């Protein structure tokens, strides 16, 4: 046998062994076999160029066979032949895992947005609580109730006013949190839940927070100046409440009442921004209902920190009510629903509004009945669920106002029919 024929025989045997469709080798084994064939060629420097060319062509066909074996149409046959040859079960034959690309996953949550901001800016965003927007919602929702009630019958609320008050809620909530953290920085260091707040943790100095507060209040003033003169004066009157609220927990067991008077100022301001002044028959019961609502959700919130509050000498309704919290919350709920019902009567609301009040009553009942005041995580979940409650009230106001148009049209038609007859 000539050397060339020996080469052809070796080439044919290597090619046959490399194809998974012939001897049932796994494609990885076929590749290794083909690579060993090329290594043997490099080990014989005396082979002719024809031998090298022949081996190279066979190696190319081997690679093509391996690639085809991993295509969807070939995979099943490769695994079946591998089982016939005594190879491991197909469940063990897994393609090599590709490394997942590293990088920050895209998320639209408020906390993720804050985390993706430039690092020097993050402490200021956390000082505003932009990573925890529930407080902004609870400040904003009473404004939406008032704006919705002030809308003309059959019309949607003023979208410009809704957006303006939304901007104001972000700024004023941020300013309130900044003031609160400036007052409470020594207390925050002693409470586990608040020890990582920017001022308490030393990420922002007191002077820096004071300058930042000035910037927020300046922007909030710009929003307020977009309103009528009556509303500008009314809005400025809330600043005293914003500044003094954080001090209430030092001197009274009712700081949640002070927060309610502060947080629900928008119930007065929204109506006056649309109508030019407040209607006491609507605005005062609406304001009162908001205060009752705040007493409910902030008492629940305060139960998270009651152990730390006792140790450092702070007061709250959670400590005042203790194990009688649920009866107190039930009383506040009845007062809130009664005030909202009076708002509906005085503003001529319709069926969708009262249906929404029924849903609010069910939400409050479930919230209070299932509350575990000794589990901070449950208190937090109940607290944040109040955003849904506020949105239900707003939806009821909008739908109830739109319902007025249908009722008015029916009334006009009946009057016209009587005149014709």
Q: Which two tokens stand for residue 314?
A: 């702070």
Dihedral sign of CA atoms 210, 216, 222, 228 in order = negative
pLDDT of residue 109: 85
> How many residues does this entry show for the chain?
421
CB 10 within 8 A of CB 54: no
User: What are the sequence ranges of the domains in the chain?
Assistant: 111-404
The predicted pLDDT at position 194 comes to 87
Long-range contacts of 308-313 (CB under 8 A, 24+ apart): 308/190, 308/191, 308/192, 308/193, 309/249, 311/190, 312/187, 312/190, 312/191, 313/250
- Rounded-to-integer distance, Cα 147 and Cα 272, Å: 9
Whether this prediction's pTM lies above 0.85 is answered by no
The pLDDT, as a whole number, for residue 12 is 41
Where the chain has pLDDT below 70, the residues are 1-108, 406-421
Give dist(CA 90, CA 264) in Å, integer: 66
pLDDT given at position 209 = 95
Long-range contacts: 189-194, Cβ < 8 Å, 24+?
190/308, 190/311, 190/312, 191/305, 191/308, 191/312, 192/308, 193/304, 193/305, 193/308, 193/376, 194/305
pLDDT for the residue numbered 404: 86
For 106, phi then psi, to 5°, come to -75, 125
- The CATH architecture assigned to 111-404 reads Orthogonal Bundle (1.10)
């Amino acid at each position: 046998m000539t050397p060339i024929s020996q080469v052809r025989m070796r080439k044919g045997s290597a090619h046959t062994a490399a194809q998974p469709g012939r001897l049932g080798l796994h494609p990885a084994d076929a590749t290794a076999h083909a690579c060993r064939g090329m290594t043997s060629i490099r080990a014989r420097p005396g082979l002719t160029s024809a031998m090298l060319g022949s081996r190279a062509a066979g190696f190319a066909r081997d690679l093509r066979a391996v690639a085809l074996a991993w295509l969807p149409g070939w995979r099943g046959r490769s695994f079946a032949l591998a089982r016939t040859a005594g190879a491991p079960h197909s469940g063990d034959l897994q393609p090599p895992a590709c490394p997942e690309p590293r990088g920050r996953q895209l998320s639209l949550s408020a906390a993720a947005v804050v985390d993706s901001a430039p690092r020097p800016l993050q402490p200021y965003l956390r000082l505003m609580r932009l990573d925890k927007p529930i407080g902004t919602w609870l400040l904003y929702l009473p404004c939406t109730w008032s704006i919705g009630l002030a809308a003309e019958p059959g019309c949607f609320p003023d979208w410009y006013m809704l957006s303006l008050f939304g901007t104001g809620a972000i700024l004023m909530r941020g300013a309130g949190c900044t003031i609160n953290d400036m007052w409470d920085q020594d207390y925050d260091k002693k409470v586990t839940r608040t020890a990582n707040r920017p001022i308490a943790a030393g990420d922002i100095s007191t002077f820096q927070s004071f300058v930042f507060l000035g910037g927020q209040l300046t922007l909030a003033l710009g929003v307020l100046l977009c309103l009528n003169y009556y509303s500008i004066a009314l809005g400025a009157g809330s600043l005293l409440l914003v500044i003094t609220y954080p001090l209430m927990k030092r001197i009274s067991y009712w700081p949640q009442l002070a927060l309610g008077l502060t947080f629900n100022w928008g119930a007065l301001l929204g109506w006056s921004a649309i109508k030019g002044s407040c209607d006491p028959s609507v605005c005062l019961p609406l304001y009162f209902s908001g205060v009752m609502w705040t007493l409910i959700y902030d008492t629940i919130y305060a139960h998270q920190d009651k152990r730390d509050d006792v140790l450092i000498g702070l007061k709250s309704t959670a400590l005042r009510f203790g194990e009688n919290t649920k009866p107190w919350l039930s009383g506040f709920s009845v007062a809130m629903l009664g005030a909202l019902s009076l708002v509906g009567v005085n503003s001529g609301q319709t069926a969708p509004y009262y249906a929404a009040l029924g849903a609010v009553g069910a939400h409050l009942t479930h919230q209070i009945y299932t509350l575990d005041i000794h589990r901070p995580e449950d208190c937090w979940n109940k607290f944040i669920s109040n955003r849904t409650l506020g949105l239900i009230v707003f939806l009821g106001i909008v739908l109830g106002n739109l319902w007025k148009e249908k009722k008015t049209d029916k009334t006009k038609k009946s009057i016209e029919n009587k005149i014709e007859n």
